[in-house]
Chain A
């Protein structure tokens, strides 16, 4: 009866992994499409507060970001008070006007009036720094601002 004897040994056949690259590529393309390159390296803690009456930031208009919050781990030498971050480094309140002007210079002229300033301020920061930022923005005549928040109930703040 050796005719019907299984010639192979009884080991399980290997799973075909030929389609694994395709699956991974699919994931890769998904992430490439839905994400954007990180623009700024955050040196501060930036946990946004929550609000539910939010509007989407219009991506058609140019957006500049101003971050504020207390220095993140690894940057404790900059103190524990909320600090301002412009681009990739800590900045002084006085530098906002120069920053706005630089952002404007990089834009096409017809888009300059539509520049929106997105304020990404940590929820634990106090209003002192926010008030100072707002005052500087008024002086720079950048009046369109957006308090960028997460979405959720404001009662949880």
Chain B
């Protein structure tokens, strides 16, 4: 025992200290899960006298009343049928100018997707969750149409097996290794073909 080694430091409580830190971070932090439906509010406009005339058949009225009942084109409807009804209206192509539409070409419904407007009205007593459900279904209707169109024109432009939602995601993804400008062109074209025209009545 000529040489005495330094005594080992007891590390038994290290775990306790680490646990303490861990619990502190667990309590004070949250896992961010922010995602949602993006919307753009209409700007405040100076009152103008011009009245825009829109044909009755080009408006798809959705009314959500205070009891969360859905009234679509003056008829009571279940939420699950809303998406199909909106797609039918948007994709109608009544005046024949829309060569990519697959709708019924019913002259009593919308002329073409560019003119078709969905008008959403709610009352003050409507619950927020019902409102979000309706918004979600209407966005889904647009997305469904755009996805279908993307799968049609995508392969010709070199974007095979990508629907519109995926295209947008890839476009935002910095790791995407493809031609971004071409992708942007396709996205813009589809956006123009099925413009999102959703107006909210105050």
Q: What residues of chain A have their CB less than 8 Å away from a CB belonging to chain B?
A: 17-18, 20-21, 24-25, 27-28, 31-32, 34-38, 49-58, 63, 116, 118, 121-128, 130-131, 134-135, 137-139, 141-151, 154-155, 157
Contacts and interface: CB of A to CB of B under 8 A. Distances in A.
Contacts of A144: 38, 40-41
A38 B30 CA distance: 6
Interface stretch (B9-17, B97-105, B184-192): B9-17
Contacts of A150: 33
Contact of B41 (A21, A36, A51, A137): A137
Interface of B: 11-12, 14-15, 17-19, 21-22, 25-26, 28-44, 64, 79-80, 122-133, 135-137, 139-140, 143, 168, 172, 202
Contacts of B44: 138-139, 141
Task: Kindly name the residue among B21, B33, B129 whose own CB sees the greatest number of chain A CB atoms within 10 A.
Answer: B129
A51 B18 contact: no
B132 A154 contact: yes
Contacts of A54: 35-37
List the 9 closest A-B pairs by CB distance, nearest first: A128-B124, A35-B29, A24-B18, A123-B129, A21-B14, A148-B36, A49-B129, A157-B129, A51-B136
Contacts, number: 163
B148 to A, nearest CB: 15
Contacts of A49: 128-129, 132-133
A131 B124 contact: yes
Given A31-B29, A122-B128, A147-B36, A17 B140 contact: no
Given A128-B125, A143-B40, A146-B37, A17 B12 contact: yes
A135 B202 CA distance: 9
Contact of B35 (A20, A31, A32, A57): A57
A147 B140 contact: no
Contact of A51 (B25, B37, B40, B168): B37
Contact of A145 (B15, B41, B43, B132): B41
